[in-house]
């Protein structure tokens, strides 16, 4: 059974429907015991980093997620769910994350970082963009060169160890779009909104044997 973590933030129904479309049983749950019993765990998310971490801690789901990862369960973070896995974030202040992957969550194009070439680029980075696969993470098996996925985000992850970067994309700068570390896979884009390729990725995840 696949458990989709409910901590009060995220497009849970869309993620659940995507798993239903590929024939993979999934349940939305805010119960740590159900997370512990699940075979695979999904951490989705839409919204602000600080509020999400507060919700996770208040509900006890931060510990449930951490224990699921440490138990070696196949785990996927989606969008904000990817960012929460990192050490900390600069979004609307300074907030500590789950620290399951070392690194920071930073904003696109601080004023001092703008160049004439990036001046016209909007934040949030929203829409379809090419995913450049760097490392053959199991959920990315069969992903084609030039394949496109759907992004909506103003912040991106900057891992301490470049070796965990499984794929990148470009929005003025090249940024980390996927990470893979042991039983953890995470995507900055939304596979549930990324049509056939996104569903194939979720199918791979549902069959991933760590």
Annotation says 79 is catalytic: yes
Catalytic residue among 79, 157, 176, 178: 79
Of the candidates 16, 174, 192, 207, the residue annotated as catalytic is: 192
Can 178 be counted among the known catalytic residues?
A: no
Work out whether the CA dihedral 162, 159, 46, 26 comes out positive or negative.
positive
Cβ-Cβ contacts under 8 Å for 32 (sequence gap 6 or more): 60, 61, 63, 64
> Among the options 174, 176, 190, 207, which is catalytic?
190
126 φ/ψ angles, rounded to the nearest 5 degrees: -135, 130
Which pair of tokens denotes residue 47?
């919204």
112 included as an active-site residue: no
Which residues participate in catalysis according to the annotation? 79, 190, 192
């Amino acid at each position: 059974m696949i458990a989709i973590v409910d901590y009060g933030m995220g497009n849970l129904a869309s993620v659940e429907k995507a798993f239903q479309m590929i024939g993979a049983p999934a349940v939305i749950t805010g119960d740590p015991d159900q997370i512990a019993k699940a075979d695979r765990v999904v951490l989705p998310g839409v919204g602000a980093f600080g509020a999400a971490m507060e919700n996770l801690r208040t509900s006890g789901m931060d510990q449930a997620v951490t224990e699921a990862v440490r138990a070696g369960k196949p785990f996927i973070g989606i969008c904000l769910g990817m960012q929460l896995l990192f050490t900390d974030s600069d979004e609307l202040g300074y907030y500590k994350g789950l620290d399951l992957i070392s690194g920071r969550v930073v904003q696109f194009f601080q004023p001092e970082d703008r160049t004439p070439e990036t001046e016209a680029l909007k934040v949030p980075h929203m829409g379809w963009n090419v995913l450049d696969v760097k490392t053959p993470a199991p959920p990315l098996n069969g992903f084609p060169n030039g394949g496109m996925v759907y992004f909506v985000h103003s912040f991106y992850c900057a891992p301490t160890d470049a070796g965990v970067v499984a794929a990148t994309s470009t929005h003025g700068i090249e940024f980390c779009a996927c990470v893979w570390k042991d039983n953890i896979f995470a995507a900055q884009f939304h596979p549930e909104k990324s049509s056939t390729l996104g569903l194939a990725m979720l199918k791979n995840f549902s069959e991933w044997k760590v």
